[in-house]
Structure 1
Amino acid sequence: MKKTLFGLLVAALAAGCAVAPAGEGVRVVDVADGWARNSVNAVVFRKNSLVTHGDEQYIAFYDQGAHVVLGKRKLGTDTWELKTTRYQGNALDAHNSISLMVDGTGVLHVSWDHHNNALRYARGVRPGSLELTDKLSMTGQDEGSVSYPEFHRLPDGNLLFLYRDGGSGRGNLVINRYDIATQAWTRLHSNLISGEGRRNAYWQAFVDHRGTVHLSWVWRESPDVASNHDMAYARSRDGGLTWETSDGRPYALPITEATAEVAARIPQHSELINQTSMSADRDGNPFIASYWRRDGSAVPQYQVVYRSGGRWKERALDFRHTPFSLSGVGTKAIPIARPQIMVDLKGDRPTALLVFRDEERGSKVSVVHITDFDAGRWTVRDLTTDAVGAWEPSFDTELWRVRGELNLFLQAVQQVDGEGMANVPPSKVRVLSWHPGK
C-alpha cells in the first residue's frame, strides 16, 4: 500500500492536482506552493498553522527555498495577501515547524525553526501587519535549546508560550506569558514538568472558553519513541501560574513522574504516540486524543481519554485493522496521522470531532464524529477524495472556538523515515473549511 500511495502522491504533486473535497459543506481554497519534501509544514504540533483574529485569518508555511511565508485573508474570501519574510528555517528537519498566534491587539507573533537550538521569535511591527520585527528575545532565560514552541491566546488577549528546554528524554517544560499592555514577556515557569534529567514530557495543551489551561503529556524515557508511556494531566485556572489536578488538588512544582496525576496507564512499547491534541467540554472536563495498542491487540487504535462524572474514562475507536510498530528516533514515517480533537460546546452532552489520516482509507483527510462517548456512538467519513501523503491535521483554534467552523491547514507532503527527504516538487498549500452539520 505504501508504495502505491507514494506513487500516486508524487504524480499528484507533479501535476499540481487539487485535493478534491468529498461531500457537502467541504470547501478547499488554494494559498500558494509550499515545501513538500517532508512533513515540516504539516505536523500536528503546530500551534498554530492558521489563526483568526476578528475577520482576518493568518497562515504560515515554508516555501521551496525554506523561507518563512506569511499570509492573511478576509474570512470567506479566496484571495490571500502573502509575504515572503527575510527568515528561513532548516526545513530538512521536520521538527522545525512554524507556529503563530495573534494577540488581543491584533499583532501577529511567530516562532519557527526549532529543534534543540536558539530561540527564533519575531512579531508584527503593528496590528494586522505581515512585516516582522528583527529576531527578539523573550526573557533571556533558557533560550539556547528550544524545541516545540507553541502559542496559546488567553481570553484577556494575552499569550502563553510553551516550549521544551533540553533534548529528547531529558527536557523540561518552560512557560512564558506575554502582556499586551506592557508588550513584554515574563517567565512563569522554567521547569513546570521536570524530567529530572532522566526523561521528558511530550505535551499537548488547550485553553478552554473559561480560560482554564489544560495540559496533558506522555513520558519518554529515552530518545526512542517506543519508551513513551502513560498519560498525565494538570490544569491551571489562573493563566498558567499555579497548577492542580483534575479534582483541584494543588501541585508542588515542578511536577515529576512521581507526583503527576495519571489519566491513563499505558506501558512502554504500546505504540503510544506523543504530541497529539486535547480539548474540553463546556463544563471544563478535559478530552485527550491519542493512539496506542492495547494489551492483546497488534493494532494501534485511536483513543480518547476523558474526564466525566468525576473520574477518568477511555473510549477506544476500534475501526482500524492494520498493525504497525513505533520505534527509533527522528521523525517517523507512520501510516496514520496523530489526531486532532475538538469538542462541541453545544448540547446537553459532549460531542466531538477527531480529525486524522490513515493509509487504510487512502490517506485522505478523515474525521470521526463522536456523538456519545459513554455509549460509544460514532461515525467516520472522509473530507477529501485525494491522498494527502504524510499530512497531519492542524487547525484554526480561534475560529473553531468562536464560530464552530473547522479550518484545516492542508498540504500533500511526504515523510521519509528518520529525517529523510522525498524527491518531490513543491505542492499546493490549501485551507479546507468545513461546517459540521451543514
Structure 2
Amino acid sequence: MTLTFLTAALLAGCAGAPPAAVEPGVTVVDVTDGWARNSVNAVVFRKNSLVTHGDQQYVAFYDADARLVLGRRQLGSDAWTLKTTPFTGNARDAHNSISLMVDGAGYLHVAWDHHNNALRYARSLQPGGLVLSDKLPMTGRDERSVSYPEFYRQPDGGLLFFYRDGGSGRGNLVINRYDTATQAWTRLHANLISGEGRRNAYWQAHQDHRGTLHVSWVWRESPDVASNHDLAYARSRDGGRSWERSDGRPYTLPITAASAEVAARIPQGSELINQTSMSADRDGNPFIASYWRRAGSTVPQYQLVYQRGGAWREMELGFRRTPFTLSGGGTKAIPISRPQVMVSLEGERPTALLVFRDAERGSRVSVAQIHDVDTPRWTVRDLTTEPVGAWEPSFDTELWRLRGTLNLFLQTVQQVDGEGTADVPPSKVRVLQWRP
C-alpha cells in the first residue's frame, strides 16, 4: 500500500519497519520482500533499479532465494504485478547487482549477476512484458569477464551497454549499442578507457537532455580501494562513437592515464571512493559527485566537481565530522553511502540535489540541496526517520529526466565488510517518491 508518514511508525531497526518519511510530499510505496543479507539490491551503480517507459514503471531485485524478480506498475498506482524469473544470481557478492532498462519499442533488457564472469543478459519476449527470453549473447566478443553492466537509453530509443572487461586494476571499458529496428547489438568500443594492463577505470556516466554522453572515472592501480586516485572526464556528442575533452578537443582512443583530462587531482590514500554518479546542467556542464579526504583532514567529505565558465571547480560539502578509512578488497562496510547527484535544468544558476546515507544522521535517507553552485550554500535534511542500513541510492533516471520526479529504490539492507553476508531476514523493497 502507499504510505505517507509524518512521524516514525514503527521501532527503528526492525527489518520490516517502513522508513518513515518526514519531508512534505514524500511517499513510500511497498513492492514485496527482497534479499537483505548484503547490499546487492541497493548499490549505487545500478543502471537501473527502477525505470519508466510511458506510464509504466518497472523494478528489478533479488528475492530471499536470490531469484531475479521483475515488477511493473502504472505510475501513480501502488499495485505491482510481479514475475519471478527462472534466473538466479550469486547474491552473496554485492557486486552482482541487476541492471534494467526499457528500449524505445518497450522491450525490457536485463543484465544481472556479474563480477568477472560470463555475460548474463536477457530481454522481454513482448513490449512491456515481464517474461524474459533465455540468456542471450550481445556481440559474442569480450563476454567472458563482465562486471558493472549499465544501460543508457538513447534519444532514438536505442540502448548503450557499458561494462568492464577484465578485473579490478586491469580492466577496460566496453560499449555496445542496440538498435530497436534490427533488435541486434553492435560493438562501439572494445576498449574506450584502457588500463594498459596496469590499472582500470571505475566510471560513472550520464546522458543529458541534449543527448550528450558524459563519463568520468577514477583510476585504480590494484584491487585495494585505497589505490583509487584522480578524477578524469570525457564526453561524446554522437551517441558514444567519438569522444572529446570538455573543451572539444578530440581524444585518440583508447583513453589512457596519460591522455585523460583531469577534472580533479586526488592522490592515492585519500579515501577516494569509486563508482559514484554524475549529472549535467541545462548548458551541458558536467557535475560529478564523490567523496574523499583532503590533505590535512582526517574526515572524508562529500565533494562536487563541476564545470563553470570552461573551468573545473570543486565544492566540499563539509558537514561531516566522523573519520573512516577505506582499505582492502571486496565490498566494504562504510558508514556513508556513495552519493547520487541530480542537477536542475531550470533557472539561470544550477541547483543540485545530493542524495546519500550517513551513520552520523542515523543512516537515514538524506539529501543535501545545493541552492546555488556559484555561492556554495546547501541545506541538509532527512527524507526518512528510520535507518536503512547499508542502502545506497539508485533512482529512476527516465522519470527524473522527463518529469523532475525523484523515485528512489529503497530497501533496508546490511553489508558485512569484505564481501560477507549478514544473518538477517528479507526486508521490504519499496519506492520512495518525492518531487523536490
Which moves more between the two structures, 400-409 or 17-26? 17-26
Does the alignment pair 1:227 with 2:227?
yes
1:131: Cα distance to partner?
0.4
Q: Does 1:409 align with 2:406?
A: no
Report if the CA contact (8 A) 1:271-1:293 is conserved: yes
Paired residue for 1:264?
264
* Corresponding residue number in structure 1 for 2:79: 79
Give the corresponding residue for 1:340: 340
- AA aligned opposite 2:286: P
Write the letter of the residue equivalent to 1:291: Y
SS at match of 1:378: strand
Determine helix, strand or coil for the equivalent of 1:323: coil
CA–CA distance in 1 between the matches of 2:336 and 2:243?
Answer: 33
Give the superposition deviation at 1:353.
0.5
How far apart are residue 339 of structure 1 and its match?
0.1
Distance, in Å, in 2 between the alignment partners of 1:271 and 1:431 is 31
Does the 8 Å contact 1:315/1:374 carry over to 2? no
- For residues 225 and 23 of structure 2, what CA distance do their matches in structure 1 show? 37
Question: Does the 8 Å contact 2:20/2:385 carry over to 1?
Answer: yes
Matched, 1:12 2:14: yes
Contact in 2 for aligned 1:42/1:391 (Cα 8 Å): yes
SS at match of 1:166: strand
- Equivalent in the alignment of 1:114: 114
CA drift of 1:46 comes to: 0.2
Residue 21 in structure 1 maps to residue 18 in structure 2:
no
- CA positional deviation for 1:167: 0.2
The secondary structure found in structure 2 opposite 1:171 is strand
Q: Is residue 161–residue 177 contact of structure 1 (8 Å, CA) maintained in 2?
A: yes
Partner AA of 1:211 in structure 2:
G
Which residue identity is paired with 2:410?
L
Matched with 1:253 is: 253
Report if the CA contact (8 A) 1:116-1:166 is conserved: yes
Aligned to 1:61: 61
Q: Is the 8 A contact 1:164 1:174 kept in 2?
A: yes
- Structure 2 counterpart of 1:145, one-letter code: S
* Amino acid paired to 2:157: G
Verify: 1:314 aligned to 2:314, yes or no. yes
- What is the CA–CA distance in structure 1 between the aligned matches of 2:282 and 2:383, rounded to whole Å? 26
Alpha-carbon distance in structure 1 between the residues aligned to 2:123 and 2:335: 36
1:356 paired with 2:377, answer no
Q: Which AA in structure 2 matches 1:35?
A: W
Q: Within 2, Cα distance between the matches of 1:155 and 1:12?
A: 43
- 5 Å-filtered alignment, 1:34-433, equals 34-433=34-433
Matched AA of 1:421 = T
Offset, 1:126? 1.1
- Structure 2 residue matching 1:401: 3-state secondary structure: helix
Contact 1:216 1:288 in 2 (8 A): yes
Runs (5+) with no aligned partner, structure 2? 1-10
| Residue aligned with 1:41, SS | helix
Report the Cα distance in structure 2 between the residues aligned to 1:435 and 1:209, rounded to whole angstroms: 19
Contact 1:393 1:409 in 2 (8 A): yes
Letter in 2 for 1:135: K
- The residue type equivalent to 1:111 in the other structure is A
SS at structure 2 position matched to 1:400: helix
Show CA shifts across 1:383-423 (max 9, x none).
00000000000000000000000000000000000111101
Shift of the alpha carbon at 1:374? 2.1
The question of whether the paired residues in 1 share the 8 Å contact of 2:390 and 2:415 is answered with: yes
d(CA) in 2 for partners of 1:342, 1:367: 11
| Corresponding residue SS for 2:355 | strand
Quote how far apart the aligned CAs of 1:373 are. Answer: 1.1
Q: Residues 349 and 374 of structure 2 are in contact (CA less than 8 Å); yes or no, is this contact kept in structure 1?
A: no
* Residue pair 2:388, 2:413 contacting (<8 A) in 1 also: yes
Q: Report Cα offsets for 1:245-268 as digits up to 9, x if no partner.
A: 000000000000000000000000
SS state at 1:30 partner: strand
SS where residue 178 of structure 2 aligns?
strand
Q: CA deviation at 1:18?
A: 1.1
Which amino acid is the alignment partner of residue 44 of structure 1? V
Identity, in percent, stands at 78
Q: Tell me the equivalent position of 2:6.
A: none
Look up the equivalent residue of 2:14 and give its one-letter code.
A
Correspondence for 1:3? none
Partner residue in 2 for 1:5? none
1:256 aligns to what SS in structure 2?
Answer: coil
1:194-233 alpha-carbon deviations (Å, 9 max, x no partner): 0000000000000001110000000000000000000000
In the alignment, the residues of structure 2 paired with residue 346 and residue 416 of structure 1 have an alpha-carbon distance, to the nearest angstrom, of 41
Q: CA separation in 1, counterparts of 2:420 and 2:108?
A: 32
Q: Aligned equivalents of 1:349 and 1:155: distance in 2? A: 26
Structure 1 residue 279, shift from structure 2 partner: 0.3
TM-score (normalised: structure 1)? 0.97
Q: RMSD across aligned C-alpha pairs, in angstroms? A: 0.7
Give the number of aligned pairs.
426
The alignment partner of 2:42 has SS state of: coil
C-alpha distance in 1 between matches for 2:174 and 2:372: 36
Paired amino acid for 1:12: C
Measured after TM superposition, the shift of residue 23 of structure 1 is 2.2
Where do 4+ consecutive residues of structure 1 move more than 2 Å? none
